[in-house]
Amino acid sequence: MRTVFALIKRNRQLFFRDKGMLISSLITPIILIVLYATFLQNVYKDSLQSALPGVMNVSEKLVNGTVAGQLAAALLAVSCVTVTFCVNLTMIQDKASGARKDFDVSPVHRPTLYIGYFCSTVLNSLMVNFLAVVMCLIYVKHMGWYLNGTDIAWIILDVILLVLFGAVLSSIICYPLKTQGQLSAVGTIVSAGYGFVCGAYMPMSNFSSGLQKFLSYLPGTYGTSLLKNHMLRGVFEEMKDQKFPDDAVTAIAGTLDCNPVFRGHVVSTSEMIAVLIGSIVLLGMVYLAVTTLAERKK
C-alpha cells in the first residue's frame, strides 16, 4: 500500500505541475455550464412548457427550477466521464517521455503501477467535478431552488459513482495509447459523443424506440437518470403540492428520462445504483486483467 500511495502522490503532483492540463480540466465544467445555459436552456424550457397541462398556471420559478435541475444533471453526467480522459494524461505522458522505462526496471509490480494511475485519476477527477457540483448548485439556486440536504448528499454520491465509472472506462481505453495526440483524439470523440449516448444533450424520450432500447443497455444512461432524479425530486414534490395531476407529474418525469425502461421494466433508482456499481466492478476486473496479461507478455 505504501507503494500505491507513493505512486498516487507522484501522479497527482505531475497533474498539478502541468498547468495546461490542470487549467483545461478545471475550465471544462465552466465551459459546459455556459454552453448549456446559453444554447439548451430555452430548448428545455419550451419542451417543458409544451408538456405542462395547459389549464394550469405554472409559476416561472417552478419552470426555471425544472430546467435548471435538468441542465445541471446533464452537465454533471457529461463532466464526470469526460474529465477523466483529461486527467488520465499522466499514464500517456510516462510512455511518451520514457519514464515508463524506469518503472519497467524497478521492483514495482505492474498491477500496482496501474492502480496508482487509476486512483490518482479518480482523485483529480473528483476535485474537478466537485467544483462543477458547486457551480451547478449556484446556478440552480439562481434559477429555482427545490433541493434539500438529502438531495445534495445523493447528488454527491452520484458524482462519485460516475467518476469511478469514467475513471475505469478511460483507463481501459487509454491503456494502449502511446502519444498525447492519440489521447486528444480519443478525448475529443468521447466529449462529442458521450453526451448523446447517455441522454444528457437530448432526453432519450425524443429518440426512436430502437435507439432507446440500445441506450438502455449502457450504464451511462442510468448515471444521467440518477442525477436527474435527485436534482428534480424537489421539483416533482412541488408540482404535487401545487395540485398537479399525478399522471401529469409521471408524464413529465418520463419525458425528462427520470423513469428509464429496460425491456419493459421501469428501472428504480436503487437498481440504477446497482447497475453503476456492477459496471464499475466489471470494468475494474477487465482493467486489471488487461494490464496484467499485457505486461506478462512483455
Check residues 298 and 26 and name the one with the higher pLDDT: 26
| pLDDT at residue 109 tops 80 | no
Average pLDDT over residues 144-152: 93
**What pLDDT, on a 0 to 100 scale, did the predictor assign at position 21?**
67
| pLDDT, position 297 | 58
Question: Between residues 295 and 1, which one has the greater pLDDT?
Answer: 1
CA distance 82 to 163: 9
Give the pLDDT score at 294: 60
DSSP-based three-state secondary structure for 265 = strand
Residue 239 predicted with pLDDT over 80? yes
Give the integer Cα–Cα distance in Å for 259 and 266.
Answer: 6
Most confident of 10-14, 48-52, 150-154: 150-154
Q: Is the dihedral of CA 196, 198, 200, 204 positive or negative?
A: positive
Tell me the C-alpha distance between 9 and 183, whole Å.
22
Q: Coil, helix or strand for 264?
A: coil
Average pLDDT over every residue of 259-264: 87
Examine the pLDDT at 23 and tell me if it is beyond 90.
Answer: no
d(CA 115, CA 113): 6
Residue 269 CA: distances (Å) to CA of 112, 121, 146, 260, 265: 34, 27, 19, 10, 13
Residue 53 — pLDDT band, cuts 50, 70, 90? low
* Residue 234 CB contacts under 8 Å (≥ 6 apart), including other chains: 65, 146, 147, 148, 151
Confidence of residue 242 (pLDDT cuts 50, 70, 90): confident
Whether 298 has a pLDDT exceeding 60, the answer reads no
Give the largest Cα separation in the chain, rounded.
74
pLDDT in tens, 153-182: 999 999 999 999 999 998 888 888 877 777
Write the pLDDT tens digit of every residue in 182-235: 777 787 788 778 878 887 777 787 788 888 888 889 998 999 999 999 999 999
The whole-number average pLDDT for the span 285-292 is: 85
Span 108-113, average pLDDT: 75
The predicted model scores a pTM of 0.89
**Phi, psi at 69, each rounded to 5°:** -60, -40
- CA distance linking residue 112 with residue 36, whole number of Å: 39
- Angstrom CA distances, 98 to 4, 48, 95, 231, 297, stand at 20, 53, 5, 45, 20
Q: How confident is the model at residue 237 (pLDDT cuts 50, 70, 90)?
A: very high
Task: Name the average pLDDT for the chain.
Answer: 83
Residue 148, pLDDT score: 93
Q: Which of 64, 15, 65, 41 is nearest to 231 (CA)?
A: 65
Binned at pLDDT 50, 70 and 90, residue 296 comes out as low
The owner of cell 435507439 is: 211
pLDDT at res. 122: 92
What is the reported pLDDT for 295?
Answer: 59
